[in-house]
Structures are given as C-alpha cells and as structure tokens.
C-alpha cells in the first residue's frame, strides 16, 4: 500500500466483547444474500454505472453528506436489485446505533452505482478493491464516481464508504489530512463470527461514524505493538491532532484534569459505564489510554454493541457543530444521552 496517497491512516480489526445497545428496526428491507459471480458482461449498461439515488435527506440544519458505493458487484446484481438493497442495508446499519440513530435527520445519504466486470475483487474491479481493502487506485475512482452526485456541494467534507462484496473480516478508513473532514471508509459484508453476531453492522458504524465522521482513533492495540509507548514527539502530535478535532477519544496521560473525558470521571450518572483509564490504544500498548474497557471503537462483534459515553459525546458534539454551527455544552449532551440510551 502506498501510504503517500493517504497521510493519515486508521486501521480496524475485529475483536470481541459485548455492551448493551438498543435493538434497531431497519428503515429499508434487509439485502438478499447472493453468491459471487465471475460472469463478464459484454457491455456495462449506462443506467446502472454512475446512477445516483438519495436514500436520506436532511431535514434539520446543514445537511451532512455520506456517499455510499459498492465494489465487486457485476451488472446482474444491479439489474436484479441486489445492489440497491445492499446500499439500503448499509444506510440502515450506519444509523442503527446512538447517537447517530437519533440524529440521522441531519444527514444526506446518497449511493452511486458502480458496475464491476466480475466479483473477483482482485484489484481490477470498479473501485479497484481487494477482498477487504482498497488499492492505490481506489481513492481516485471514488472521487470520479462522486462527481455524479451533482447535489454534493462540499465533497471535501464528505464521508465516502465503499461496501466490498466479500464476506471476509476487515475494514479500514483513510483521511486525506488533519485539515479536512473528508474520509474514505471501506467495509466488506462480513460474515458473522457467531450465530447472533452482527459484525458487518458494527464494523460499518465503527468505520463510517467512529472513524470517518467523528475522527476517533481505534481503542484496541494493534498486533505487535503491545509493548510500544508513545514518544515525546508523538505526544506533541496528539495534542495538535486533538486541537484539529481528531483522536479525542484517547490520551497519553492519566491526568484527570486534562483528559478529554474529565467530566465523566466524577459524574455519578455514568457510574455504570465504569469510565476511567484503560491502557492500550492503536499503535501503543503502554502509556496510552481509552475511557472504557470495551466499546464499539474497541471491538466490532458481539450481539449488541455501543459507543462509550465519552465517544457518544464526541459524535454528538461534531454533529451539532457541523449541522448547527454551534458548540453544545456538557449538560446538553447528557440530557440528550439519557433520553436516547
């Protein structure tokens, strides 16, 4: 992977744990399961490739844009309605967990038709993805397809999400730089790891809302980094990243007066979430902390998952700031949170 195309990289993986979150009722019917096909159509019908449909329209504040696309979907999966169903299902999933579930009226969601020659996912399909991740050509392809969304006024602040027609576990999100809201998320249609598992749904929320929209870091430790500690340079970088709105769900210090979730540490209304300092995030197994032992930025499979309260506040604050151009205070979030969880 050529990292120079993506200066800021966030990776995700699937780990285990369970937290309670309310079940959701999909707005659209669930997508049917279809076996991959290697059929090569002689012609790509124009009515499918580049077709744009709007799945959600913002009714409150400035509309926040998310654009969905799929890769590894040959023409027959467009013609029989599978592609549209997959896009509708993805929209359902993305807005199935609080706080985005109760604030989805702030979002515009579009999907763009991408016809692949087959479903091999060998890096030569419509978005040039592999089974679980993009290639260096993917970002340019997304930008090209995004031009079909003529009502998209601010592409530089849009979250793009590619649904990869694969059942393998994975997921990844890239940001172009710390000075833009634009993000590129990729998520396979992951096969559940347990009979009641919802790995795909949780991975989508993790990638699109957690990483892509809220700019949060992973809250698990990458394999091989269990003993790594942040350097003094990296500590300074985190301070700057947080000033720009990134990585506000982690800290490199256990100082209760300066950590991003300091209000929650003494708030008895959140005592059940056991908010504190739990060591290990991202590329640092030591000297780096998250607010709870498990949550949706830490694990992406289980029966029901949720964001931690500090992470919910990060998402809530960003939605309000970007849709209403104002910064909510702590008690406003708490009132909303108690009423929606």
Q: What is the pLDDT of residues 66-101, one digit of tens each?
A: 999 999 999 999 999 999 999 999 999 999 999 999
pLDDT of residue 34: 52
Give all strands of the β-sheet with 159-164 in edge-to-edge order: 8-11, 172-175, 183-188, 159-164, 64-71, 107-112, 52-56
Per the model's pLDDT, the better-predicted residue between 44 and 229 turns out to be: 229
Average pLDDT of 300-316?
88
Tokens of 117: 């020659």
- The whole-model pTM stands at 0.87
Q: Tell me the residue range of the domain where 95 lies.
A: 3-213
pLDDT confidence of residue 253:
96
Question: For residue 303, what pLDDT is reported?
Answer: 64
Q: How many distinct structural domains can be found in the chain?
A: 1
**Rounded distance, CA 308 to CA 21, Å?**
10
Whether residue 337 is contained in a domain is answered as: no
For residue 16, pLDDT over 50 is answered with: no
Is 120 inside any structural domain? yes
Q: What is the pLDDT of residue 4?
A: 32
Answer whether residue 265 shows pLDDT above 50.
yes
The whole-number average pLDDT for the span 177-181 is 86
Give kind and range of the element (H or E) at residue 331.
helix 330-339
Q: Any idea what the CATH number is for the domain that residue 65 is in? A: 3.40.390
pLDDT at 31: 52
pLDDT grade for 241, boundaries at 50, 70 and 90: very high
In a domain, 330, yes or no: no
Q: Measure the CA–CA gap between 227 and 207, rounded to whole angstroms.
A: 26
Return the exposure string of 180-205: e unless at least 16 CB atoms fall within 10 Å of the residue's CB, then b.
Answer: ebbbbbbbbbbeeeeeebbbbbbbbb
- pLDDT of 176 reads 81
φ, ψ for residue 186, nearest 5 deg: -135, 135
Contact 193, 256 (CB under 8 A): no
Mean pLDDT, the chain, as a whole number? 87
32-46 pLDDT, tens digit each: 555 544 444 445 556
% pLDDT > 90, the chain: 74
pLDDT tops 80 at residue 28: no
- Residue, of 146 and 154, whose pLDDT is higher: 146
Q: Specify the pLDDT at position 153.
A: 79
pLDDT above 90: residue 299:
no
Could you tell me if residue 207 is inside a domain?
yes
Report yes or no on 108 lying in a domain: yes
């Amino acid at each position: 992977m050529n990292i120079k195309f993506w200066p800021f990289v966030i990776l995700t993986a699937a780990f285990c744990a369970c937290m309670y979150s309310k079940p959701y009722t999909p707005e659209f019917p669930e997508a049917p399961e279809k076996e991959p096909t290697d059929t090569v159509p002689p012609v790509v019908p124009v009515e499918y490739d580049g077709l744009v449909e709007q799945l959600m329209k913002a009714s409150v504040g400035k509309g926040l844009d998310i654009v969905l696309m799929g890769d590894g979907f040959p023409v027959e999966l467009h013609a029989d309605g599978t592609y549209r169903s997959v896009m509708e299902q993805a929209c359902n999933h993305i807005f199935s967990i609080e706080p985005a579930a109760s604030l989805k009226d702030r979002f515009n969601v579009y999907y763009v038709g991408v016809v692949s020659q087959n479903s091999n996912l060998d890096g030569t399909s419509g978005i040039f993805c592999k089974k679980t991740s993009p290639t260096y050509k993917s970002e340019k392809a997304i930008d090209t397809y995004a031009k079909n969304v003529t009502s998209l006024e601010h592409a530089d602040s849009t979250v793009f999400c590619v649904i990869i027609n694969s059942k393998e576990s994975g997921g990844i999100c890239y940001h172009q730089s710390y000075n833009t809201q634009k993000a590129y998320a990729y998520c396979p249609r992951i096969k559940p790891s347990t009979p009641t598992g919802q790995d795909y749904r949780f991975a989508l929320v993790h990638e699109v809302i957690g990483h892509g929209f809220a700019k949060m870091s992973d809250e698990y430790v990458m394999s091989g980094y269990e003993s790594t500690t942040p350097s003094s340079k990296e500590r300074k970088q985190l301070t700057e990243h947080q000033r720009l709105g990134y990585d506000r769900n982690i800290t490199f210090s256990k100082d209760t007066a300066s950590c991003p979730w300091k209000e929650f540490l003494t708030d008895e209304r959140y005592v059940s979430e056991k908010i504190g300092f739990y060591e290990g995030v991202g590329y640092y197994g030591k000297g780096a902390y998250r607010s709870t032992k498990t949550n949706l930025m830490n694990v992406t499979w289980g029966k029901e998952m949720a964001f931690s309260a500090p992470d919910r506040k990060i998402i809530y604050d960003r939605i309000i700031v970007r849709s209403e151009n104002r910064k909510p205070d702590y008690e406003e979030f708490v009132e909303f949170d108690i009423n929606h969880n």
